Structure 1
Amino acid sequence: MRLKINIVQLLLFLICLQTYAQIDKYTYKKELLNVSDDWHAIVLPNEIFKNVSSDLSDIRIYGITKGNDTVEAPYLLEQKKPKISSKNIGFKYVNKSTTDKGSYITFKVTLDAIINQVQLSFEQDNFDRFIKVEGSQNLKDWYTVVDDYRVLSVNNELTKYSFTTLKFPDSKYTYYRVFVKGKDAPDIKKAEITLKEKQRGSYKKFTVKSTEIVEQNKNTIITIDLGMPVPVSHIKIKTKNTFDYYRPFRVKYLRDSIQRESGWKYNYQNITSGVLNSIEENEFNFYSTITNKIKIIVNNQDNEPLNIDEVVVKGFDYELITRFSASANYFLTYGNEDVNKPSYDLQYMKERVPGKLVKLQLGPEQIIPKNQEKTVEPLFKNKVWLWAIMLIVIALLGGFTLMMMKKK
């Protein structure tokens, strides 16, 4: 009976040890509070990104049941970026004409469709013009869709830039007329008509700890310190200038840094590039990257530097869509560069996810204690005790020997 009890106790100990060993592979955990449904959403907070792997592959959700069993909750990782769909609309040209006031192109939409964009290609480069777009149902009565819409092309040894896409509110006409204003207007070579639909994403605006602007070798270098690593995927550059400008720029992010005897060595890598200009909003999206510093290098060429007002830095929300199949105390665990991304069945059954999910709150970050092997200490630390026992043993053996000899 006693042997059976000992075996059961040993099994329970091994189960508890295995339970802890799964979580023990990670460095940090946050308790998931008020898990009440089979499905929940978890928005990843900013503070965890300094401790997760760069591709978020080390995130796991573990639960500890009342029986000390470990359960792993599967999840889908979603980046809440905008979803954009584009539908090309068929059309045919009706006519082209040129007057001393400008050039016209008229086309007929072949389907009963809504449009909101016209992409134009021109025969010539290097122009700066204004465009008017009108719509009609009968080629007689024309209604303004958009007016004084600026299009631009700059093509030289230093800059190659064009802005020739017309964007306007959803519009539904049978005929459209595009008028390029001005004498010697550039000729329209080709047009594409589309309906762009955009589902808004969920952004976080990150707090900028400090901004440093330096003018160096005809470049404006803007270094932005975000204070802690966060997933950056969007910047908006605001200037105070009222004149027209077109400046190539690059964006770099701080990948890592090394401390040497001479000081810190920072390793920046390119993440995107483009052209700052006075026509567009100067908003730029790029692949989400976890970093705590970004550097924007604006090439001023021979122009005076731009007066930078503000740089807004944002990133998409990251959300875990999680299924809970057992009653347990659940934790979000992370912090292990050596594990691969998990593979769950959920990725093949996304249509099963309910439409509305309750978002869970997270507890404070905790460091997960590690199982460390205990060093076996000697029974006797002080050698005096060891010698004393050895002398006692020798004396006893000697005494027994003498007693045996006397008996003989």
Structure 2
Amino acid sequence: MMWKNKSLLFIFLFIAEISFAQLNTYNYSREIKGVSETWHSIELPDEVFGKVSNDLNDFRIYGITEKDTIEVPYLLKIASEKQTEKNIAFKLLNSSKKENTYFFTFEISSEKTINEIQLNFKQENFNWLVNLEGSQDNSEWFSIVEDYRILSIKNEQTDYQFTNVKFPPAKYKYLRFQIKAAEKPELLTAQTSLSNFDLPNYKTYSVENFSVSEDKNLKKTILDINFSEGLPLSLISLKIKESVDYYRPVTIKYLADSIKTEKGWRCNYTTLETSVLSSLENNDLYFYSTITKKLRIEIENFDNRPLKIEGVTAKGYEHTLIARFTEPAIYYLVYGNPRANKPNYDISKFTENIPPNISAVNLSEEKIIDKNELPKRSPLFENKLWLWLIMGVIIALLGWFTIKMMKKS
């Protein structure tokens, strides 16, 4: 019975040590509450992103049972935009002019719903107002959009076009453009389409503070945006108060690292994306999802006065783990290991077998994983008394065998 208890104790200690060794390579853990089915989703809280690698490779889910420690396979799902576009065939019927207005009439081969027309002109620099009308019989016309501005700028500093006319879904057999211009617009191509843009589930994050400064030598506006912790950002919306048209190239950067010098901290920024702020479009700046505590946006003013920036809104995609649980256990989400590689699970090859509607589970409060080693078991011969005792037994046995052999001889 005593040997059985010792064996069970040894097995328990062995399992505990293996479990500790697996968890001990990570810095943080959260217990997963409410596991009751095979598939569950886990929404990652904002607080974890500042403690993981930028590539998000160091998430693991471990389950601890009475006999073993198991690793749970998961998929990381990041919500993102989905855009579909279906081109609709149509042809140019005629073009005409009346005073300073040029007309272009198109026929759609079949009555299809459209919501966008892409125009391509030979001119490289223009700023025109467009009216778009629709008709079923090429006689009675109905207004679709009025005074829609299209623009093209091309020079040594800028190469920008805004020539896509967007409008609510419409279904007409004939379309007619009216373009007010001092010179004849030389239309090269036109393409109609039905575009569908599904916005992702964005999370809006609080901006701790932002500051605006001007670099007069470089003719730039510097916008620094700070957050209280590292967050997965992918969209910055600017509130700009301007009553005049503007077009400004921008560069979006994030804080990669900082070095402390004798003159203070020196920040090193890495470019994320380049974009444009234009009075013709909304002031949303999209970029690749990046975990950071600080963004910098540099706005090229050229010889124009700086834009008045009144507010900043920051957003990022929702991040969710889809996990498969196969047996009862106490489950933990662990993270915070910059050396961890991206896991390779079989479920990534069979995503079509994941149920469409799965229930979510909750995470407990974060705990820091203790890095202290498990208590060491004392070696058998750490006490010198054991060594002397065993040596005495060995000497006695050798003496006994020697005397016995001498008697036989």
How many percent of aligned residue pairs carry the same amino acid?
A: 42
Answer yes or no: is the 8 Å Cα contact 1:120–1:188 preserved in 2: yes
- 1:235: Cα distance to partner? 1.1
Residue in structure 2 matched with residue 231 of structure 1 by the alignment? 232
Residue in structure 2 matched with residue 275 of structure 1 by the alignment? 276
Residue in structure 2 matched with residue 319 of structure 1 by the alignment? 320
- 1:196: Cα distance to partner? 1.0
Structure 2 distance, partners of 1:51, 1:76, is: 19
Residue in structure 2 matched with residue 186 of structure 1 by the alignment? 185
Q: Deviations over 1:19-52 (max 9, x none)?
A: 2222222110111222222222211111101111
- Where in structure 2 are the equivalents of 1:287-326 lying within 5 Å? 287-326=288-327
Classify the secondary structure of the residue corresponding to 1:337.
coil
- 1:120: Cα distance to partner? 0.7
Structure 2 distance, partners of 1:371, 1:42, is: 29
Structure 1 distance, partners of 2:335, 2:268, is: 25
1:374 and 1:330, CA in 2 relative to 1: closer, same or farther beyond 3 A? closer
Structure 1 distance, partners of 2:12, 2:103, is: 84
Structure 2 gaps, min length 5: 385-409
Structure 1 distance, partners of 2:173, 2:267, is: 58
Code of the aligned partner of 2:189: K
- 1:353: Cα distance to partner? 2.0
Q: Higher mean Cα deviation, 22-31 or 92-101?
A: 92-101
Q: Deviations over 1:284-341 (max 9, x none)?
A: 2111011000011111111111111112111111111122211222111101111111
Residue in structure 2 matched with residue 168 of structure 1 by the alignment? 167
Code of the aligned partner of 1:337: P
Classify the secondary structure of the residue corresponding to 1:230.
strand
- 1:81: Cα distance to partner? 1.3
Structure 2 distance, partners of 1:305, 1:149, is: 26
Code of the aligned partner of 1:6: K
Structure 2 distance, partners of 1:117, 1:295, is: 33
- Where in structure 2 are the equivalents of 1:59-74 lying within 5 Å? 59-65=59-65, 67-74=66-73
- 1:151: Cα distance to partner? 0.8
Residue in structure 2 matched with residue 401 of structure 1 by the alignment? none
- 1:238: Cα distance to partner? 1.7
- Where in structure 2 are the equivalents of 1:132-171 lying within 5 Å? 132-171=131-170
- 1:229: Cα distance to partner? 0.5
- How many pairs are equivalent? 380
> Could you tell me the TM-score, scaled by structure 2's length?
0.87
- 1:58: Cα distance to partner? 0.6
1:55 partnered with 2:65: no
- 1:84: Cα distance to partner? 0.9
Structure 2 distance, partners of 1:196, 1:288, is: 24
Code of the aligned partner of 1:343: N
Structure 2 distance, partners of 1:227, 1:3, is: 57
- 1:126: Cα distance to partner? 2.1
- 1:167: Cα distance to partner? 0.7
Q: Deviations over 1:212-244 (max 9, x none)?
A: 111112211111111111011011122111111
Structure 2 distance, partners of 1:331, 1:174, is: 60
Q: Deviations over 1:41-67 (max 9, x none)?
A: 2111111011111100010111222x1
Answer yes or no: is the 8 Å Cα contact 2:15–2:69 preserved in 1: no
Classify the secondary structure of the residue corresponding to 1:22.
helix
Structure 2 distance, partners of 1:38, 1:185, is: 66
Classify the secondary structure of the residue corresponding to 2:146.
strand
Classify the secondary structure of the residue corresponding to 1:113.
coil
Answer yes or no: is the 8 Å Cα contact 1:100–1:183 preserved in 2: no
Classify the secondary structure of the residue corresponding to 2:13.
helix
Residue in structure 1 matched with residue 123 of structure 2 by the alignment? 124
1:14 partnered with 2:23: no
Residue in structure 1 matched with residue 203 of structure 2 by the alignment? 204
Code of the aligned partner of 1:230: L
- 1:283: Cα distance to partner? 1.0
- 1:12: Cα distance to partner? 3.0
Q: Deviations over 1:133-182 (max 9, x none)?
A: 12222222222222211111122233222211111111122222222124
Residue in structure 2 matched with residue 404 of structure 1 by the alignment? none
- Where in structure 2 are the equivalents of 1:323-342 lying within 5 Å? 323-342=324-343
Structure 2 distance, partners of 1:257, 1:7, is: 54
Q: Deviations over 1:68-112 (max 9, x none)?
A: 522222211111112111122222222222332422222222344
- 1:16: Cα distance to partner? 2.2
> Could you tell me the TM-score, scaled by structure 1's length?
0.87
1:283 and 1:325, CA in 2 relative to 1: closer, same or farther beyond 3 A? same
Code of the aligned partner of 1:116: N
Classify the secondary structure of the residue corresponding to 2:31.
strand
Structure 1 distance, partners of 2:197, 2:205, is: 23
Structure 2 distance, partners of 1:111, 1:233, is: 40
Code of the aligned partner of 2:37: D
Classify the secondary structure of the residue corresponding to 2:9.
helix
Classify the secondary structure of the residue corresponding to 1:54.
coil
Structure 2 distance, partners of 1:366, 1:60, is: 15
Code of the aligned partner of 1:272: E
1:111 and 1:344, CA in 2 relative to 1: closer, same or farther beyond 3 A? farther
Code of the aligned partner of 1:252: K
1:29 partnered with 2:29: yes
Could you say what the CA RMSD is over the residues aligned between the two structures, in angstroms?
2.3
Answer yes or no: is the 8 Å Cα contact 1:100–1:182 preserved in 2: no
- Where in structure 2 are the equivalents of 1:344-359 lying within 5 Å? 344-359=345-360
Code of the aligned partner of 2:62: Y
Residue in structure 2 matched with residue 110 of structure 1 by the alignment? 109
Classify the secondary structure of the residue corresponding to 2:260.
strand
Structure 1 distance, partners of 2:245, 2:106, is: 32
Code of the aligned partner of 2:282: E
Structure 1 distance, partners of 2:329, 2:233, is: 34
Code of the aligned partner of 2:104: I
